Amino acid sequence: MTLGFGPAALFMYDEIMLSRSLSPGARSVTRVDLRRAQRLLLALLGVAIAVSIVHYADNYLAYDRYPQSDTLPDPSATTVLVSWFVFTAAGVTGAWLFTRERIIPACVALGIYSGSGLVGVGHYAVGGTSSLAWWRHVHIVTDIACGVALLAFALWAATRFRDMPPEPTTPRSGF
């Protein structure tokens, strides 16, 4: 039997993976996996917040240097500044919830935070962006990439850890 590419091959691959996941020796998600994911999240979020500080501060302080749209509504400089605080609060809340194993609410908050970077695509939706300095493109594109990475993490974590039972707690003494 040859295994080629195409729908039949994909179907067979899915069947193999499903049977492996249902087999008695299948690897389940562990607390170690969750701790690794928490460390990855904190690293991703730290980089994303650092990049967004540069991007949003530049966008606020040099608002007049960024091209404005003729057809789309432009946010004011104040809206840009306030949105950074709102997005960042969602990201920090998501990380806090994730470290407390509140997976789905955490992933929703992280998905909201990912919008902080993804909204950077709007810079390229208007004409004149090519006139920006090269270093502005670096922080815009890096912020967009961070948004994609955090959205991907949120979607992955929501599917990977959603059924993990909560960690057992020790009863408190009456004293």
> What's the whole-model pTM score?
0.79
* 132 part of a folded domain: yes
Give residue 109's domain range: 30-66+75-161
Residue given tokens 């691959």 in the structure block = 13
User: Is the separation of the CB atoms in 34 and 102 below 8 Å?
Assistant: no
pLDDT, one tens digit per residue, over 56-80 is 999 999 999 999 888 878 899 999 9
Identify which of 126, 95, 128 has the alpha carbon closest to the alpha carbon of residue 109.
Answer: 95
Examine residue 7 and state whether it is found in any structural domain, yes or no.
Answer: no
Residue bearing the bigger pLDDT, 1 or 93: 93
Domain count, the chain: 1
Check the CA dihedral 126-135-82-109 and report its sign: positive
Residue 174: inside a domain, yes or no? no
Q: Exposure pattern of 94-129 as b/e (b: 16+ CB <10 Å)?
A: bbebbeeeebeebbbbbbbbbbbbbbbeebeeeeee
